């Protein structure tokens, strides 16, 4: 009997591993005169940007979509019994050409767009949505996936098992199990949502670019620090204007609010920024409602009470109650401190002769003055030590100390804009790890903010490894004719943050591209980025590279001490402000009935528990809140605070064993950075840290409850 059982077991094992070959598809002929469709005979197979013209995109997309359809058809019509290889891996490998084209087009649509590109995106997006729906709603394809899910065999490793689970659930969560009638509704809703989010993003960018405040009276800029005036003058010159110009781009907008005492101009600027998308030519109010309602319809169709329930099922937090209680716990622990922060700044403003109620456009100015008075620290003191080239050197040095990475300029790699620089990244054994693109400065063709993205991820196919092409895109203060680019402390933190994302991408290891690098749950993806910010206030790190750009003098110890002391200044206020974003996000995505009310009133109510400054009529963040209405953070903005809890706890291990500890860094790399989405993130975190994270780590890091020194 035992021998018979062994034979049966071996037969079952063989059956589970048999016929894993990927079916060959009859692909359409490609026009290789189109550089997007040709082989890229370039360094590391990087995109040949200088050869790509706008006219190439649509034909390339059409051809790639046809290829993807042929690949799917080959899987569906494969006469062999479904297996992990001929179905799940085949699906993973399909669409490679389309992914390559999307990687170029959509990254440039954010970093170097034009009106024509935006129009192309409007024409392409419905085709991509249709393809996605055709794949996810194909009953024969789902039947094969379901069969493998229910009969996985015995030859799968952990990454294989995760890919199988992710693939099956992706189909189920994309309507594959719906009736034919409901599948058509799903197609309709997702197509509508795709168009709505695209339009929202375009309106937001247009509204940002549509406003500029030009000042010609020298008296109104006389008080401003030199770097602010120089930046404004450069902006005016670039626009063909006289005097000084402020835009709604953060490097222009924030310094003016911080250093100008002209309340009238600041109110005008603040209202313009905080009413983007509220009425007018680029109105997003109806888009906000339509997006929220369409997401609700999709969730209901798939059997969920609200969109947040649908989203959080595939997040580290797992469910809506966990997120709402997490946000509430942090609010309960910090709101009183945030109120005290506001009272402190308000009292200080009054001591300087300010009369009346402190308004949002007053906040940056008086909080900065208080910060200067208490810590004798402002951007003018700090910026000379944070020359962009020096900061970059420091960031690269940190990556070398922690992970043995080296960065070598590669001028032979084509770039999409003259501002972009490129580096080959290798490890301490000489292994090629990635190509890194750096794009630092604002321009009208680039959306606001800072982000990491990839033109290509890591994977292994038939034993041949492909390494990632990683891009960091930021909007730092531009150099002027008189000065190099000097970063604020916030910009230094931003650099470190986005570089953390890039490390996640560059150090990713794995067979399947959908599991490598930053392809992890949304509320886990910010851990590698936010932990990097901790080094910005470590004297041992700053002493290695932070020197005065004119004198070469190392940053004085007392300035570093003041930076550290000022780090938690208004920490509670900043925390509650972030919680307000997370709570309004959850409010929009926990609606259970279609919303037809007033967007501004809804936001006021959802943010009321977190309100610390006066509400201003006619303003709202939702109409320009791209993270949740046109990005990937719907029902997920809490993830920033979630990750702060993770990173505070994680960095405490570096503090314990040394901020450059290779032992801790190797563990973080091995358990977090290199693993990507191959395992459950909580299991990975506990393996690194030894326990689950708790909010107390973040509260302690912010220094709340301690007496101010």
Q: What is the DSSP letter of 219?
A: G
Integer CA distances (angstroms), 181 to 178, 301, 310, in order: 8, 11, 21
> How far apart are alpha carbons 217 and 159 in whole angstroms?
64
Can you state the angle between helices 96-111 and 115-136, rounded to 10 degrees?
150
| Residue 216 main-chain phi, psi, to 5 deg | -115, -10
- What six digits make up the tokens of 412? 């032979």
Give start and end residues of each alpha helix (H) in 211-279. 226-238, 250-259, 263-274
> How far apart are alpha carbons 298 and 188 in whole angstroms?
10
Options 230, 498, 526, 647, the catalytic residue: 498
DSSP letter string, 21-47: PPPPP-PPP--TTSTTTS---SGGG--
Beta strands in 451-599 (DSSP E): 451-456, 459-461, 464-466, 469-473
Q: Which residues are CB-contacts of 549 (< 8 A; sequence separation ≥ 6)?
A: 384, 385, 387, 390, 483, 484, 486
> How far apart are alpha carbons 11 and 24 in whole angstroms?
27
The strand pairing partners of 409, in sequence order, are: 423
Whether 130 sits among the annotated catalytic residues: the reply is no
Other C-beta atoms closer than 10 Å to the C-beta of 209 total 16
| Order of all β-strands in the sheet with 451-456 | 406-409, 421-426, 432-439, 469-473, 451-456
Under a CB-based contact definition with an 8 Å cutoff, are residues 442 and 110 in contact?
no
Q: Which residues are CB-contacts of 268 (< 8 A; sequence separation ≥ 6)?
A: 213
> How far apart are alpha carbons 200 and 629 in whole angstroms?
7
Provide the sign of the torsion angle of the four alpha carbons 46, 51, 52, 56, taken in this order: negative
Give kind and range of the element (H or E) at residue 438. Answer: strand 432-439
Report the residue count for the chain. 709
DSSP letter string, 486-524: B--HHHHHHHHHHHHHHHHHHT---S-GGGSTT-S-TTT
* Chain mean position to CA 631: 9
DSSP letter string, 370-422: HHHHHH---HHHHGGG-BHHHHHHHHHHHHHHHH--EEEE-TTS--SSTT-EE
Under a CB-based contact definition with an 8 Å cutoff, are residues 52 and 33 in contact?
no
Biggest distance spanned by C-alpha atoms of the chain: 98
Q: Active-site residue numbers? A: 498
């Amino acid at each position: 009997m035992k021998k018979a059982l062994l034979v049966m077991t071996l037969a079952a094992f063989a059956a589970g591993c048999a016929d894993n070959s990927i079916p060959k598809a009859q692909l359409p002929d490609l026009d290789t005169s189109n550089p997007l469709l040709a082989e890229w005979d370039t360094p590391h197979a990087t995109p040949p940007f200088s050869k790509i013209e706008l006219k190439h995109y649509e034909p390339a997309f059409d051809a790639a979509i046809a290829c993807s359809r042929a690949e799917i058809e080959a899987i569906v019509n494969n006469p062999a019994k479904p297996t992990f290889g001929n179905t799940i891996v085949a699906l993973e490998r399909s669409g490679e050409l389309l992914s390559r084209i999307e990687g170029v087009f959509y990254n440039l649509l954010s970093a170097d767009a034009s009106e024509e590109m935006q129009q192309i995106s409007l024409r392409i997006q419905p085709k991509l949505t249709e393809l996605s729906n055709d794949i996810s709603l194909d009953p024969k394809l789902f039947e094969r996936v379901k069969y493998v899910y229910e009969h996985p065999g015995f030859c799968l490793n952990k990454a294989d098992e995760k890919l199988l689970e992710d693939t099956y659930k992706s189909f189920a969560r994309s309507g594959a199990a719906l009736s034919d009638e409901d599948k058509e509704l799903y197609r309709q809703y997702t197509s509508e949502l795709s168009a709505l989010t695209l339009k929202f993003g375009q309106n937001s960018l247009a509204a940002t670019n549509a406003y500029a405040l030009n000042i010609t009276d020298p008296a109104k800029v006389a008080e401003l620090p030199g770097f602010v005036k120089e930046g404004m003058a450069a902006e005016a010159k670039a626009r063909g204007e006289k005097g000084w110009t402020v835009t709604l781009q953060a490097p222009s907008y924030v310094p003016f609010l911080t250093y100008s005492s002209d309340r009238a101009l600041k109110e005008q600027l603040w209202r313009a920024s905080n009413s983007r998308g509220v009425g007018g030519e680029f109105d997003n109010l109806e888009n906000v409602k339509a997006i929220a309602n369409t997401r609700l319809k999709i969730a209901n169709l798939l059997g969920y009470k609200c969109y947040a329930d649908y989203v959080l099922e595939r997040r580290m937090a797992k469910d809506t109650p966990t997120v709402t209680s997490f946000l509430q716990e942090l609010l309960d622990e910090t709101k009183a401190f945030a109120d005290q922060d506001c009272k402190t700044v308000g009292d200080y403003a009054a001591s300087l002769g300010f009369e009346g109620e402190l308004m949002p456009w007053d906040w940056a100015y008086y909080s900065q003055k208080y910060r200067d008075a208490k810590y004798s620290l402002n951007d003018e003191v700090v910026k000379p030590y944070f020359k962009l080239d020096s900061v970059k050197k420091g960031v690269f040095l940190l990556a070398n100390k922690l992970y043995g990475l080296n960065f070598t300029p590669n001028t032979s790699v084509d770039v999409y804009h003259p501002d972009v620089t490129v580096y080959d990244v290798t490890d301490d054994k000489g292994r090629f790890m990635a190509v890194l693109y750096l794009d630092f400065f604002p321009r009208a063709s680039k959306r606001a903010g800072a982000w990491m993205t990839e033109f290509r991820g890591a994977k292994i196919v038939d034993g041949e490894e492909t390494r990632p092409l990683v891009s960091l895109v930021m909007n730092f203060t531009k150099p002027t004719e008189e000065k190099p680019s000097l970063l604020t402390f916030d910009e230094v933190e931003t650099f470190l943050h986005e570089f953390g994302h890039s490390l996640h991408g560059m150090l990713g290891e794995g067979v399947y591209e959908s599991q490598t690098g930053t392809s992890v749950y949304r509320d886990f993806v910010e851990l590698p980025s936010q932990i990097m910010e901790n080094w910005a206030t470590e004297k041992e790190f700053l002493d290695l590279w932070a020197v005065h750009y004119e004198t070469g003098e190392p940053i004085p110890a007392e300035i570093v001490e003041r930076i550290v002391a000022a780090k938690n200044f208004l920490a509670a206020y900043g925390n509650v402000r972030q919680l307000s974003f997370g709570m309004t996000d959850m409010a929009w995505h926990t609606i259970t009935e279609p919303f037809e009310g007033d967007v501004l009133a809804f936001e006021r109510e959802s943010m009321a528990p977190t309100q610390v400054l006066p509400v201003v009529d006619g303003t709202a963040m939702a109409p320009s809140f791209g993270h949740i209405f046109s990005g990937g953070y719907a029902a997920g903005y809490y993830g920033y605070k979630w990750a702060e809890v993770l990173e505070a706890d994680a960095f405490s291990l570096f503090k314990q064993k040394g901020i450059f500890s290779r032992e801790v860094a190797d563990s973080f790399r091995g358990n977090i950075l290199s693993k990507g989405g191959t395992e459950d993130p909580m299991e990975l975190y506990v393996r690194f840290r030894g326990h689950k994270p708790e909010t107390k780590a973040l509260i302690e890091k912010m220094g709340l409850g301690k007496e101010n020194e």
